[in-house]
Structure 1
Amino acid sequence: MKNIFIRNEQQRQWLEKLASLRYNIASEAATVDALSTFPKDSFRLLGDIGYPTVTLPKAYGGEGFSVYDMVLLQETLASYDENTALSIGWTLGVVGELYEKKLWTDALLDFFASEVRKGVIVNRSVSEARTGSPTRGGRPGTNAVRSEKGWILNGHKIFTTASPVLDYFLTSAWIEEKQQTGFFLIHKSATGLSIEENWDVMSMRGTGSHDLILQNVEVKETDLVELPNHPSGGKMNGWLLHIPATYLGIAQAARDYAIQFANHHQPNSLNAPISSLPNVQQLLGEIELKLQQARFVLYGTAEAYDDPQRRETLTNEIAVAKHTVTNTAIDIVDKAMRVVGAKSLQNTNPLQRYYRNVRAGLHNPPMDDMTITKLALTAIEEQKQ
């Protein structure tokens, strides 16, 4: 990580904490990918240093990290293991958004802060096979019906990232009597809640994004914690920048491997390593250029979001950052593989894992087509006004 993006001592100390875990987290990455298991050991190590509390405000007993801080840590963590970073990133993002926007009652926020301080892992469970991503506006098929004790939920969610270790599922459901989508906070111990372990993909194999099954799950009245006015939450959410931060971390790891390879690989037809070749230097230079471009977009957007006054002027910047960084990261990994050549395709080479995993960013929200359409519509409306 370039020192230009480290702004204070607290950030430096936390980066050092992560660095102390680097070997153990990185050494688990290849096995987790190969076996499509979940990096539970890495989560345990992160829990030991209190990582799940970094985005909990200081007033609630957390580290009080901003979006910028989170991005800095998540990019670094992803350069060690992208599956671990993306999985725990959802907890950091959910906690950050909940307390920034005060989405729950004061009493519930106090309760959940005590849970976060204990190291609980939480994620929103919103995607469904019929509706796809909720950002496209589909009504959830999961439904909630009032009961004598509260609510009864039935439904089937997909892409429930980190499901093997989630303590809480913040689950969307259609409430017929309210004609509205609500979010329910469901503990993993709830009767009728189960995980169907069917995550079988080529990318991000270690995120445990299995299906969540809800069969007559009964929750309390107070477990209905959110009634948003828009199916995707409506308001701009800078905490989603943990997503592009993860893919930028993959690009950094690919860059590091390519540089190391270029400096040490010397065929017998050359008198020096391949880093001396103009065509290799061209590729490495393009990688450096794209990394810097992506970083300034990502960190600049995070910095703007963290400033309450500047935040009010933002429109599509979060989506632009995600689009720019994820697509640039894909290009960086491709160029790194060109430097390394056919060896990059060997199953023992980490570049083939980066190549598969970096493409998953295209399918995390917001999707590219929605970003481009929103930019066009915004420009059209601004001209009309």
Structure 2
Amino acid sequence: MLFFKTTEQKQQFNEIAKLADVFAKRAQKYDQEGSFPVENINDLKKFGYTTLTLPTEFGGKGASLYEFVLLHERLAQGCGPTALSIGWHVGIILDLATTRPWSKEKYAEIMKKVNDNALLNRAASEAQTGSPTRGGKPQTTAYKEGNQWRISGRKTFTTMAPVLDYFLVSASIDKTEDVGEFLIPRDTLGVQIEETWDSIAMRATESHDLILNDVRIGEDHLLEFVSARPKQRANGWLLHIPACYLGIAQAASHYAIEFANSYQPNSLSHPIIELPNIQRHIGEMELELMQARHFLLSVADKWEQLQDKTIIIPDLAAVKHVVTNSAITVVDKAMRIVGARSLSEKNPLQRYYRDVRAGLHNPPMDDATLHLLAQSAIKSFSEK
């Protein structure tokens, strides 16, 4: 069941559904080739999805988090890697619109570029530090020389690397304890993409390594001090991650039901969808999907309404944990319905199975979420 607040949301959903169905026909090819879905991204640019959360003052649609999540799940039903890739861009634009951490001049300059379909993503992960959410200090370094910054280092998991126009790079500032986030245009001398992505999950995201060889940028390209950000941030924009995996799970459920409705072995006088054990699996899938979708949309809605968004930090983490693990469960049940043929290379279920596993390694990780929830519960108990 879907929850549209306005007729406009329903109309947008139906439009993105048509695009997602086109993407579904291309998904197997991109996965087998391990190639980036450039055609899909170009279609999303034409549709206006890359400016979905861009403020209206810069020509965007100014969509809310609720609208973003609602549409993003449907997009992911067509192609998970496409949704995860563009989700980082659209989510970051929403984050920037909410927090406005940059100078007004630089923010306006880049948002105008985004309105002209420029794409950006953060490059924060490193082999030595792991996920930036773990708190490791970047090995990538930046030092000031005159009115320029010189930056060198290597970033991993740079999703959408083949088509990004801007990289938001975290780097340790030389001779200080500060960490800054720098804007690096793709065409800057010293920027290189090394094609290292060999993951069996989300293959088409082409999340290669970004190499920075003594890159030189203007002093105004230091966007903000990451080390000065509040330790507790209500990153609602990260709900694009569970929305993506929920969409993949929904696609798996649809496939399994369609298969069960049409498959009739000669030992039966009816399709297997009439078997009690098959219906039990379908019912269990639907329950997982309903619970996950209700949780996801309710937290997105709550995030928008709260002035003090830090209150909802535990909920945001819990949503990602619940939805991602539910998605894995749904895909597993779908494969049980379809049987051994779900492991065929031509069958989309084996792709869904590989792709949803990637969700476990997107932030926040399960152990961090459970620790956060435990601390929240203990604090609430002690304050009684």
- Kept in 2, the 8 Å contact 1:247–1:329? The answer is yes
Q: CA deviation at 1:109?
A: 1.6
Q: CA deviation at 1:22?
A: 3.1
**RMSD, aligned CA:** 1.4
AA in 1 matched with 2:69: V
> What residue is the counterpart of 1:298 in the other structure?
296
* 1:279-319 CA distance string (max 9 Å, x none): 00000000011100000111111011011347353231110
Q: CA deviation at 1:94?
A: 0.6
Counterpart selection for 2:128 from 98, 106, 130: 130
Counterpart selection for 2:187 from 175, 189, 192: 189
The question of 1:121 aligning with 2:119 is answered: yes
> What residue is the counterpart of 2:227 in the other structure?
229
> What residue is the counterpart of 1:369 in the other structure?
367
**Alpha-carbon spacing, 1:46–1:71, altered in 2? closer, same or farther (3 Å):** same
> What residue is the counterpart of 2:345 in the other structure?
347
The question of 1:29 aligning with 2:56 is answered: no
Counterpart selection for 1:168 from 166, 169, 180: 166
| CA distance in structure 1 between the aligned counterparts of 2:297 and 2:367, rounded to whole angstroms | 23
> What residue is the counterpart of 1:358 in the other structure?
356
| CA distance in structure 2 between the aligned counterparts of 1:229 and 1:307, rounded to whole angstroms | 28
- Kept in 2, the 8 Å contact 1:150–1:220? The answer is yes
| CA distance in structure 2 between the aligned counterparts of 1:156 and 1:379, rounded to whole angstroms | 39
AA in 1 matched with 2:376: T
Give the match's secondary structure for 1:62. Answer: coil
Please give the residue correspondences for 1:115-264 in structure 2 after superposition, counting only pairs within 5 Å.
115-229=113-227, 234-264=232-262
AA in 2 matched with 1:7: K
| CA distance in structure 2 between the aligned counterparts of 1:176 and 1:310, rounded to whole angstroms | 35
Q: Report how many aligned residue pairs link the two structures.
A: 383
| CA distance in structure 2 between the aligned counterparts of 1:51 and 1:250, rounded to whole angstroms | 19
| CA distance in structure 1 between the aligned counterparts of 2:231 and 2:23, rounded to whole angstroms | 33
Tell me which moved more, 43-52 or 230-239.
230-239
| CA distance in structure 2 between the aligned counterparts of 1:201 and 1:13, rounded to whole angstroms | 36
Structure 1 residue ranges without an equivalent (≥5): none
Q: CA deviation at 1:176?
A: 2.4
AA in 2 matched with 1:370: A
Tell me which moved more, 53-62 or 14-23.
14-23
Q: CA deviation at 1:198?
A: 1.0
Q: CA deviation at 1:229?
A: 3.5
Counterpart selection for 1:323 from 321, 324, 332: 321
| CA distance in structure 1 between the aligned counterparts of 2:310 and 2:353, rounded to whole angstroms | 37
Give the match's secondary structure for 1:5. Answer: coil
Give the match's secondary structure for 1:206. Answer: helix
| CA distance in structure 2 between the aligned counterparts of 1:11 and 1:119, rounded to whole angstroms | 22
Q: CA deviation at 1:376?
A: 1.1
AA in 1 matched with 2:10: R
Counterpart selection for 1:49 from 30, 47, 50: 47
| CA distance in structure 1 between the aligned counterparts of 2:229 and 2:323, rounded to whole angstroms | 25
| CA distance in structure 1 between the aligned counterparts of 2:20 and 2:369, rounded to whole angstroms | 34
> What residue is the counterpart of 2:265 in the other structure?
267
Q: CA deviation at 1:233?
A: 6.6
* 1:207-237 CA distance string (max 9 Å, x none): 0100000000001000000113357974111
Give the match's secondary structure for 1:56. Answer: coil
AA in 1 matched with 2:125: S
| CA distance in structure 1 between the aligned counterparts of 2:228 and 2:262, rounded to whole angstroms | 54
Structure 2 residue ranges without an equivalent (≥5): none
TM-score by length of 1: 0.97
> What residue is the counterpart of 1:283 in the other structure?
281
| CA distance in structure 1 between the aligned counterparts of 2:232 and 2:110, rounded to whole angstroms | 23
| CA distance in structure 2 between the aligned counterparts of 1:170 and 1:237, rounded to whole angstroms | 17
